[in-house]
Structure formats: C-alpha cells, structure tokens
Amino acid sequence: MSLKLFRSTGYHSILAPGEARLALHPGWAVAAVGGWVGFVCNVWLWHVMLTGGSGFLPALASAVGVAGATACLLSVFGWRRTFKLAATFVLLVAALLAGGAWVNGVPAQALSDDTFRIASMLPPWATLFRWQVPTLLVVLGGLPVLWLWNLQLRRLSGPAQMSVNVWGAIWWGLLAAAGFFALGRLA
C-alpha cells in the first residue's frame, strides 16, 4: 500500500503557470494595431517626411485620428474570439487603402473634405500587378497579420474584459475625435 501525500482531482488548467503573466494584455494589442494603422499605414505622413514639404501637422492629426478610430473599433471587438479576426480585416483594409492613396496621390486634406469618398482611395486594378501595391500589401498588411496570429493574448475574466473594452472605446474615441477635429482646423 502506497502513501498518497496529495489528492489529485484530475483537473488540469489550460494555462501554464507563467502563461498568464507573459501574454500581452489585450489593451496593448489594440494600441499596437491602432498605432500601426494610424502611423505606419499613413501615406500622408510618409509623404511629408520623405519630401520635407509643408503639411506635417495635418498629416500628424490624420495619423492620430485614424489611430484613435481604429483602436476604438478594435476595442468594441476586443473579445478573445473576435479580436484577431477584426484586427486582420482592419490591417488588410488599411494596407489596401494605403496602397491606393500612394498610387492615386490623395492628399491628407481630402479627409476633411465633405465630398471625399473612401472609394477614391482604392487602387485601380491595373496597379495590383505592378510592384508598389503588392509590396505595400505584404509589408503593411501581411507581416503584421502574421505577428498578430502568433501573438498570445492574456485571458481576462468576463467583467475585466468588458471594462477594458468599454474604457478603451471611450478613450480611443476621444483621441479620434481630437485628431479629426485638429485635422479639420489645420486643413
């Protein structure tokens, strides 16, 4: 007869002991994707920085507004089962629009125009077969999507995740409003 010092219930956790601490908080993932879309996928900011021309403040305001709006949207879809799908869609659409804005030469001031249509930023079909748009799609969309799907997100309880999502949507929405308000004043 053997002596049992500990009773085993047969229950095993899904999480490893250090996994909850090492995984990225969902709020930081929202901020990373929003910042990528707002600043890295912002063609107007690139154009101003590469040419050294005027219009840095409107381009920066558009970057802040787009980053805030993207993060606000992702905060709404910040649940464990919906975040990666929503972020993938946002990253690929942002890369496609960045390629179109680059090829079509859409100025940053067009965002504050009432007659502006987002369809004018889509690249023409013929440009999808040249090197610029596919390269932008891979670099701006494909690589962050690969990073995102390999990313481990911290699991939060239901009420904690709801709090993160609601407060994130509020704060990111305020940042988006401030960025677009500044863009309207500067343009």
Q: Count CB neighbours of 132 within 10 A.
A: 13
Q: Do residues 155 and 15 touch, judged by C-beta distance below 8 A?
A: yes
90 inside domain? yes
7 inside domain? no
13 inside domain? no
Domain count, the chain: 1
Q: What is the pLDDT of residue 87?
A: 96
1 inside domain? no
Q: What is the pLDDT of residue 116?
A: 66
Q: Do residues 145 and 160 touch, judged by C-beta distance below 8 A?
A: no
150 inside domain? yes
| Secondary structure (DSSP) of 143-179 | HHHHHHHTPPBPP--HHHHHHHHHHHHHHHHHHHHHH
Q: What is the pLDDT of residue 102?
A: 79
Q: What is the pLDDT of residue 136?
A: 85
Q: What is the mean pLDDT of residues 59-80?
A: 93
102 inside domain? yes
Q: What residues make up the domain containing 169?
A: 24-186
pLDDT band, very low/low/confident/very high, at 48 (cuts 50, 70, 90)? confident
12 inside domain? no
Q: What is the pLDDT of residue 146?
A: 95
Per-residue pLDDT reduced to its tens digit, 95-121: 988 888 877 776 666 666 666 666 667
Query: Above 70 in pLDDT, residue 19?
Result: no
Report which of 146, 153, 10 is spatially closest to residue 81, judged by C-alpha positions. Answer: 153
Q: What is the pLDDT of residue 172?
A: 95
Q: What is the pLDDT of residue 13?
A: 55
Q: What is the mean pLDDT of residues 177-186?
A: 89
- Residue identified by tokens 């440009």 is 127
Lowest mean pLDDT among 73-77, 117-121, 179-183: 117-121
15 inside domain? no
Q: Give the percent of the chain with pLDDT over 70.
A: 76
Average confidence score pLDDT of the chain: 83
Query: Above 70 in pLDDT, residue 20?
Result: no
| Secondary structure (DSSP) of the chain | -PPPSS---S---SS-TTHHHHSBPHHHHHHHHHHIIIIIS-HHHHHHHHH--S-HHHHHHHHHHHHHHHHHHHHHT-STTTHHHHHHHHHHHHHHHHHHHHHHT--GGGGG-TT--GGGGSPPGGGGGSSHHHHHIIIIIIHHHHHHHTPPBPP--HHHHHHHHHHHHHHHHHHHHHHHHHHHHH-
Q: What is the mean pLDDT of residues 168-173?
A: 95
Per-residue pLDDT reduced to its tens digit, 116-168: 666 667 677 667 777 878 888 899 999 999 999 998 888 888 899 999 999 99
